[in-house]
Amino acid sequence: MDCKTRPRASTHYEQNKSGAVLVWEWAHRTAAPWLLQYVQDKDLHRWQLPESRAINAAIESYPFDFDVWSGLKRYELATEGRAILRA
């Protein structure tokens, strides 16, 4: 394949969004779910969402597995994360 027949690639960059949220919005054309919003809050060092530090501490304690992450509950993560942060 030469340069003339290769598909064109494009990039999209926004400083106010994490890569996870950008990919979600591109792929799904909807707002990112709450879990990705918390990941973004940490990635951008905002810490603006309720209990963000605790919830992100708990998220990091789980394997990076979408099947696991899809079952996570915000209130349970907040409880687990508060204990992690106390340790």
- The domain of 39 spans 34-86
User: Domain for residue 49, yes or no?
Assistant: yes
Phi, psi of 49 (to 5 degrees): -80, 150
Domains identified in the chain, total number: 1
Q: What is the DSSP string of 5-59?
A: TSPPP-----TTS-HHHHHHHHHHSSPPPHHHHHHHHHHTT---STTHHHHHHHH
User: Domain for residue 11, yes or no?
Assistant: no
* pTM for this predicted structure: 0.83
CB 56 within 8 A of CB 40: no
**Cα separations (Å) of 5 from 2, 10, 17?**
6, 16, 33
- Residue holding tokens 């799904």? 28
User: Domain for residue 16, yes or no?
Assistant: no
User: Domain for residue 8, yes or no?
Assistant: no
Q: Which tens digit of pLDDT belongs to each residue from 21-80? A: 999 999 999 999 999 999 999 999 999 999 999 999 999 999 999 999 999 999 999 999
User: Domain for residue 44, yes or no?
Assistant: yes
User: Domain for residue 25, yes or no?
Assistant: no
pLDDT band at 9 (very low <50, low <70, confident <90, very high): low
User: Domain for residue 45, yes or no?
Assistant: yes
User: Domain for residue 72, yes or no?
Assistant: yes
